[in-house]
């Protein structure tokens, strides 16, 4: 394996299952086939089957926001697929609202809008 492949594999191993499911569903179009194969292999090792991946894909198709090229928009606050977008506040030290700006939020951060 070359250094890039080693980095990809290390990243896959340290990622949680939900993140890997997002990658092979919501972000699949923008990924290389070898990376998809490695992620799907790791998901199988973790006990995730094809039906569960298909269910996650259907959920993403129903709830996520997508760019014109078919890749899910990413949450402004984390790496998860965005389900909502709109005006939110840029906050100083995460607390004091300073100025409004456009945000995309995943289900975990949707309350920020």
Rounded CA separation 54/76 (Å): 26
- The model's pLDDT over 7-18, given as tens digits with 9 standing for 90+, comes to 889 999 999 999
What is the distance, to the nearest Å, from the Cα of residue 63 to the centroid of all Cα atoms in its chain? Answer: 13
- The model's pLDDT over 67-111, given as tens digits with 9 standing for 90+, comes to 999 999 999 999 999 999 999 998 899 889 999 999 999 999 999
pTM of the full structure:
0.86
Rounded CA separation 65/72 (Å): 6
């Amino acid at each position: 394996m070359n250094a890039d492949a080693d980095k990809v594999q290390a990243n896959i191993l340290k990622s949680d299952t939900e993140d890997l499911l997002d990658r092979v569903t919501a972000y699949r179009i923008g990924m290389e086939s070898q990376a998809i194969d490695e992620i799907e292999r790791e998901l199988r090792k973790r006990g995730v089957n094809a039906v569960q991946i298909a269910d996650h894909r259907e959920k993403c198709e129903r709830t996520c926001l997508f760019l014109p090229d078919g890749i899910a928009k990413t949450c402004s606050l984390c790496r998860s697929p965005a389900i909502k977008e709109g005006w939110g506040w840029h906050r100083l030290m995460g607390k004091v609202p300073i100025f409004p700006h456009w945000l995309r939020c995943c289900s975990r951060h949707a309350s920020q809008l």
